[in-house]
Amino acid sequence: GKAKETLKGHNGKVFAVAITLDGGKAISGSLDSTCILWDLKTGKAEQTLKGHTNRVHAVAISLDGKKAISGSDDHTCIIWDLDTGKAKETLKGHTRDVLTVAMTPDGKKAISGSMDSTCILWDLDTGKAENILRGHTNLVFDVAITPDGKKAISGSMDSTCIIWNLDTGKAEHTLKGHIYSVYTLAMTPDGKKAISGSDDNACIIWDLK
């Protein structure tokens, strides 16, 4: 295929992108400490989202396209109002860089994973931490949330994945199979299975039931 548009606006490496459900807009996060909201029909930047003080590693966008969350090396996450381009809340709780974020389908909660070896479940209405998810012994590279918003899975440099119950904040299962860092995760649309990718050159399909 051919490139449809080249989206220019960042002044540094781009680490993360997310697209709205209708495919009309996208958000990117960059080494330049900003996020940009893009109109994918025109290829133009709609908003430059300024608030972080260090590189933005991760972004996620709500299904309705009205808000987003970003995670940064400044140890914070920011909830963005995409209608105004303004920060609604700055989420403080991690003690090291935030490497990954995911949002529940209803847009009410989000989970972040950090170099501090924890995940935090956030209430996006209040900007408060609901639970700190402790179980990994090294930094957390990626997280994903089930479509019903009840469980999450995280992948870590400790070579494991953990399935979390988001109602209790407790680990349900620690998934052992990789021998090196787990860098990336994806979940099936029905939320019954996940796949992890690792530094050991392998992917593993996990049954989340």
- What backbone torsions phi and psi does residue 62 show, to the nearest 5 degrees? -70, 155
pLDDT (0 to 100) of residue 87? 96
In this prediction the pTM is 0.96
pLDDT (0 to 100) of residue 41? 92
pLDDT (0 to 100) of residue 170? 94
The helix/strand/coil state of 106 is: coil
pLDDT (0 to 100) of residue 128? 95
pLDDT along the chain (209 residues), means of 10: 89 96 94 97 95 98 94 98 94 98 94 98 95 97 95 97 95 96 95 96 93
pLDDT (0 to 100) of residue 15? 97
DSSP readout, 23-47? Answer: SSEEEEEETTSEEEEEETTTTEEEE
Residues 6+ away with beta carbon under 8 Å from 86: 80
pLDDT (0 to 100) of residue 13? 97
